[in-house]
Amino acid sequence: MQGKVCLVTGAASGLGAATARGLAQRGATVVLVDRDAEKGALLAEELRQAGDAAAVEFLRADLSAQAEIRALVEDFKRRYTRLDVLVNNAGAMFPERRESVDGIEMTLALNFLGYFLLTHLLLETLKASAPARVVNVSSRSHARAQINFEDLQFRAGYDGLPVYAHSKLAIVLFTYELARRLEGTGVTANALHPGVVATNFGTQQGGRTGMLIKLFRFAFLSPEAGAKTSLYLASSPEVAGVSGKYFVKCKAVPSAPASYDAATAARLWAAALALTEERDHVIT
C-alpha cells in the first residue's frame, strides 16, 4: 500500500482502529477520522511510533453532522491531492430515537447519510486517483430490513435493532448503486459484513439485544479478525476491479434479495440527495 492514501472513518476504536492498523502495517498513508480527538490522537501516535506507515494523520469530525463532514472534506482536500481507499466504517446502534444536529434520525444520519455524503464529496478525488476503492461496512442484519420510504426516519415505531438493520440495508443498496454509477471510472465500491466482533458496538444497548451482546461477547471475533474483510477489500490485488459486491470472510456472497432492487436503490439515492441537500456528483 506504499504510495496509497487511505481514509478510515470510526478509526479511533474497534474495527476502524484494526483496519487503520492493518493499512499502516502495509505502508500506506493513513488518515484516521473519528469524533473523539483524544482517542484519535493516541492511535495516530501509536501508528507513527510503529513506523510502518508512510504517514499517519488524525482528523476529527462528527460524521452524523453534515457541516462537519463538509469541513472534514475541505480540510482533507487542502492536505491531500489523492485518495486511493475510502473505508466508510463509523456506525452505531441507538437504543432510543434521537436526532442529529441536522434534525435527522441519528442511525440514518450516521450509518447511511454519513457514508453517502462523505463518499459523494470525495468522489472527484477518488476518480482522479483511480484505480481507487470505496469500502462500506454494512452488516448481515441488513437482511432483516426493507426500506421504509413512508418513514425513513422512524418517527413512528422506533426500535434500535430494526432501525440499525434498515441503515445497513441502505448501505448495501447505496454500494450497488454507486458501483453502477461508477462503472468505467476505475473506482470500485463494495460492501461487507465483518462478522460478530467484540468492540464497543452495542454496549449501550439495553433489553434483549444488549443482554445477548453481553452474554455471548466471549465468543465474538477480535477486532483484528473482524477487520480482515475490510482490509482485504481495501488492499488485496485479488479484488482489483471487483465492484458492486457484498463480502463476508473475504468472499463475495449474495446479499439479501431486497438489496438488489435497482428501483429501490435509485429512490433511496434521490432521498439521500434531498436529505443532504447535495446535487448529483456521480453522473459521469
- Residues lying near ligand NAP in the complex (CB under 6 A) are found at 10, 12-16, 34-36, 62-64, 89-92, 110, 137, 139, 193-194, 196-197, 199-201
When the beta carbons of 12 and 265 are compared against ligand NAP, the nearer one is: 12
- In the complex, minimum distance from the CB of residue 17 to ligand NAP, in angstroms, rounded to a whole number: 7
- In the complex, minimum distance from the CB of residue 172 to ligand NAP, in angstroms, rounded to a whole number: 12
When the beta carbons of 15 and 234 are compared against ligand NAP, the nearer one is: 15
When the beta carbons of 5 and 114 are compared against ligand NAP, the nearer one is: 114
- Please identify which of the residues 115, 158, 164, 246 carries the catalytic annotation: 164
Beta pairing, strands 132-137 & 85-88: parallel
Q: Where are the alpha helices (DSSP H) in the chain?
A: 14-25, 37-50, 66-79, 106-107, 114-128, 160-181, 207-216, 223-226, 228-235, 262-276
Q: Is 181 helix (H, G, I), strand (E, B) or coil?
A: helix
Strands laid side by side in the 132-137 sheet: 55-60, 29-34, 5-9, 85-88, 132-137, 187-193, 246-248, 251-253
Whether 164 is catalytic? yes
* Calpha distance 4→58 (Å, rounded): 16
- In the complex, minimum distance from the CB of residue 200 to ligand NAP, in angstroms, rounded to a whole number: 4
- In the complex, minimum distance from the CB of residue 27 to ligand NAP, in angstroms, rounded to a whole number: 23
When the beta carbons of 12 and 135 are compared against ligand NAP, the nearer one is: 12
Catalytic residue numbers? 164
